[in-house]
């Protein structure tokens, strides 16, 4: 997985996701703003999961395994 300006790093996505959750929990936003925040949060969660999946695949390759949990 390559890092690009359009795609945040795992840490950037995680930090922004944390901010989105904080803003949603705080309330005080309109329905449209809340929906936009929710959608951004979903996109950020997907990005984080992709980074984690790629890291797991690299670890599995380094360990010589092809399936999760295989030893």
Residue 2 has pLDDT above 70, yes or no: no
Give the number of domains in the chain: 1
* pLDDT at site 6: 82
Residue 1 has pLDDT above 90, yes or no: no
What the block records as the tokens of 18 is 């944390």
Among 13-22, 37-46, 59-68, which stretch is predicted with the lowest mean pLDDT? 59-68
Residue written as token pair 């010589």 = 64
Cα 36–32–49 angle (5° rounding)? 20
Q: Is residue 57 part of a domain?
A: yes
Phi, psi of 20, rounded to the nearest 5 degrees: -60, -45
Q: Is residue 71 part of a domain?
A: no
List, in order, residues 6 or more apart from 29 with CB less than 8 Å away.
23, 37
Domain with 57 in it: 10-61
Phi, psi of 10, rounded to the nearest 5 degrees: -55, -45
């Amino acid at each position: 997985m390559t890092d690009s300006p359009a795609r945040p790093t795992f840490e950037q996505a995680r930090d922004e996701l944390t901010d989105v959750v904080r803003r949603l929990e705080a309330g005080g936003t309109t329905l449209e703003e809340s929906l936009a925040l929710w959608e951004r949060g979903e996109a950020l969660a997907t990005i984080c999961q992709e980074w984690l999946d790629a890291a797991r695949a690299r670890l599995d390759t380094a360990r010589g395994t092809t399936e999760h949990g295989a030893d």
